[in-house]
Structure 1
Amino acid sequence: MKDYLVLISCICFLAFLVPGRFRKYFAVGGWASIVGYLFLELPYYFSLNNFMYPIIALLSVPFLYITIKYLLLGDPRVMQLSGIAAVAFLIFAPFAYIPALGDWLIAIVVNQTSAALAAVGYPVNLDAWNLVERNGFRTEIILACTGIQSIAIMLGVAWGVQSTLRQKVIGFLVVFPTIYVLNIVRNVFVITAYTEQWFPFLPQIAGNGEFGYESFFWAHNVMAELGALVFLVVLAYALFMVLPELGTLADNLYRLYRSEVERILRPKAARSDLQP
């Protein structure tokens, strides 16, 4: 079911790119499908003791409510945000739904991660085309380990706003090589930390019954996730410098969602603010 939701979301956002009076309804379907997918994925993330995505799923509920409300009103800010999501899906979809293309990208990342590990004096073995091993610990490289999601999202941010061709090219040069290289570094860190058992701490919250999993949990689910979040914020700031229109959109969206959250949390205060 959850795979169908991803496909539905992809189709809806791609349909949103086609001009027409039903665009906002396609955007509603796209956002609703994404949120539904996040909640259906919760059992998987709980099995990995991954706290980041459950938090995102929880926060997505008010986000979805506010987004749908303003999409139905045809608000240009939320329509532009949906355009960013649509561009991101346009970039991500080929790798997600064409197996040969996705496997090609995974194979490249596996080879480059292995080469980087060897370069820092930590060679690994390949148990399979996308499975690296050292010290008896194996790590599988999947599409999520290629950085393509982050690249698609940030390129969607860079290309989803009105800008010149020069700005789009600069945005690509800021986003793609930076995320790609840092994702290889991330893979090197996670694999080394896991196979060398750097962080065997607090198994009661970090363990899943698999020997040595705690080091993977702290390296992948905590340090790498938080590091990626901080990096994406910094990268977004760099894009604001290249695309001033993006900074304006971000500020407008922040004000919109903040005011709506305050209206939800403090309805009486919001009503009094409306009184002359």
Structure 2
Amino acid sequence: MPSPLSMAGSRPGIGLEHAGQVAFVSDLGIGFTDALAWLAIGSFLLALVLQWRDERDLARGTGALAWVLFGVFWLTMVPYYYGEIQSPLQTILATVALPLCAYVGYLLFQGRASLFVLTKAVALMGVIYLPVETIPMVRTWLIETTAVQTHYGMELFGHSPGINEGANGYQSRFDFDPDETVTGRTTYIILACTGIGSMAIFGGLVASVSAPLKRKLTAFALAIGVIWFLNLVRNVFIGLASPWGWFQQDWLVSLMTTYMGADPNRVSYLVAHNYIAQSLSVVALVGITYLVVKIVPEVLAPLEEVLYVLTGTEYDLFDALDKSEFRPDGYGTGAAGAETAADADASSEDPADPPKQ
């Protein structure tokens, strides 16, 4: 994937990037990070198949390896987020991803079987995202459609720059005249600007749990709709803030250029994208999660696992939110050896014990 600092024609352009891929391209034409991502997701899926076949030891080992590979994948993104995107938030998250993922793998290998629900969620996220990332026709349609929709949004605010080819080869670049704008720069849409990453997160989360199909489809449709709208607002905001220098105040320019090595003309873009938009994105994700939980409380199960990994403390979100009746069969908070329903049934030795429903 081209750098967001690449030139589009003779005019400077900036990609609205927040979760792209590093352009480490091998002789075979496949990005190293893409290959690593596929390997991790493939390992996640293999672990789930092995668990389904009741090969528990092998499933735990494969799952643990998958988590480590997933962490390494994010580690390879650190130079990109730090050097090219210049995003402190994404740099920090990518850096801590490896130890966190390695810890998840360790817990899973040690017997915390409840982590398989989180493993399934991440695997399905990858299944949704990676084909879109790697199928040219789908990728082109998403990028160019998002560019057109963003342009419509700009027109609502009185700006109609037109669209031409961006540095990534798609009709996705907003053709502002550099002689008429404040910074002389513009932006172009890439895959990350389509919101597909966030959509994949909630799609995988909802698909990973057992719940009535109608509720799952409702939650998925709601999440996709909200993400689409907020992503469109985000693109319009950044797409206008960059060329028109909404944040080119002298004190900001001095701060960003002196301490962060930023190009003076990129300050408005960096503030709009890396600080305002990304911070609000975190708030939006929390809000969307709340809406999804209201419809499909079963997703609290993988969220409990996330909290345990981050804090080392067991949380019972089902009880806290008065949703205990939605707890998956056999799933419960507990020590690192928490059991799935199948594990719990297999460990029952008294024939008088009633079967779990």
Q: What's the TM-score bracket when you normalise by the shorter of the two chains? A: 0.7 to 0.9
Residue matched to 1:157: 205
Identity, in percent, stands at: 26
Would the aligned equivalents of 2:45 and 2:120 in 1 still touch at CA under 8 Å? no
Tell me how far 1:206 sits from its aligned partner. 4.9
Tell me how far 1:252 sits from its aligned partner. 4.9
Residue matched to 1:32: 68
1:23 aligns with 2:59: yes
**1:251 aligns with one of 285, 304, 307:** 304
Residue matched to 2:174: 132
Tell me how far 1:16 sits from its aligned partner. 3.7
Question: Which stretch shows the higher mean deviation, 42-51 or 149-158?
Answer: 42-51
Residue matched to 1:264: none
Would the aligned equivalents of 2:48 and 2:116 in 1 still touch at CA under 8 Å? no
Q: Secondary structure of the equivalent of 2:72?
A: helix
Q: Normalising by structure 1, what TM-score?
A: 0.86
RMSD: 2.1
Cα distance in structure 2, aligned partners of 1:113 and 1:174: 21
Would the aligned equivalents of 1:207 and 1:217 in 2 still touch at CA under 8 Å? no
Would the aligned equivalents of 1:207 and 1:213 in 2 still touch at CA under 8 Å? no
Q: Is the alpha carbon distance of 1:213 and 1:247 closer, same or farther for their aligned partners in structure 2, counting shifts above 3 Å? A: same
Amino acid at match of 1:162: S
Cα distance in structure 1, aligned partners of 2:98 and 2:35: 20
1:145 aligns with 2:193: yes
Would the aligned equivalents of 1:16 and 1:83 in 2 still touch at CA under 8 Å? no
Larger Rg: 2
1:176 aligns with 2:218: no
Q: Is the alpha carbon distance of 1:115 and 1:256 closer, same or farther for their aligned partners in structure 2, counting shifts above 3 Å? A: closer
Q: Is the alpha carbon distance of 1:42 and 1:236 closer, same or farther for their aligned partners in structure 2, counting shifts above 3 Å? A: same
Q: Deviations over 1:81-136 (max 9, x none)?
A: 01100111111122011111111111110111111111221212223112223242
Name the structure where helix makes up a greater proportion of residues: 1
1:222 aligns with 2:253: no
Q: Deviations over 1:215-244 (max 9, x none)?
A: 111111111111111100111111111122
Q: Deviations over 1:239-275 (max 9, x none)?
A: 11112222244235424542279xxxxxxxxxxxxxx
Would the aligned equivalents of 2:71 and 2:99 in 1 still touch at CA under 8 Å? no
Q: Secondary structure of the equivalent of 2:187?
A: strand
Q: Deviations over 1:169-227 (max 9, x none)?
A: 11112211110111111000011110111112222245533x51111111111111111
Amino acid at match of 1:242: I
Q: Secondary structure of the equivalent of 2:86?
A: coil
Query: Where in structure 2 are the equivalents of 1:1-276 lying within 5 Å?
Result: 1-18=32-49, 19-20=52-53, 21=55, 22-47=58-83, 48-128=85-165, 129-136=171-178, 137-200=185-248, 201=252, 202=255, 203-209=257-263, 211-255=264-308, 257-259=310-312
Tell me how far 1:15 sits from its aligned partner. 2.9
Amino acid at match of 2:42: I
Question: Which stretch shows the higher mean deviation, 85-94 or 120-129?
Answer: 120-129
Q: Is the alpha carbon distance of 1:108 and 1:30 closer, same or farther for their aligned partners in structure 2, counting shifts above 3 Å? A: farther
Amino acid at match of 1:182: L
Q: Is the alpha carbon distance of 1:166 and 1:234 closer, same or farther for their aligned partners in structure 2, counting shifts above 3 Å? A: same
Q: Secondary structure of the equivalent of 2:34?
A: helix
Residue matched to 2:327: none
Cα distance in structure 1, aligned partners of 2:236 and 2:135: 27
Would the aligned equivalents of 1:206 and 1:218 in 2 still touch at CA under 8 Å? no
Cα distance in structure 2, aligned partners of 1:50 and 1:228: 14
- For structure 2, the 5+ residue unaligned runs are 1-31, 166-170, 179-184, 315-357
Q: Deviations over 1:11-58 (max 9, x none)?
A: 223334433324334433332222212222222211232111221123
Q: Is the alpha carbon distance of 1:206 and 1:191 closer, same or farther for their aligned partners in structure 2, counting shifts above 3 Å? A: farther
Q: Secondary structure of the equivalent of 2:175?
A: strand
Would the aligned equivalents of 1:2 and 1:40 in 2 still touch at CA under 8 Å? yes
Cα distance in structure 2, aligned partners of 1:249 and 1:13: 15
Would the aligned equivalents of 1:49 and 1:205 in 2 still touch at CA under 8 Å? no
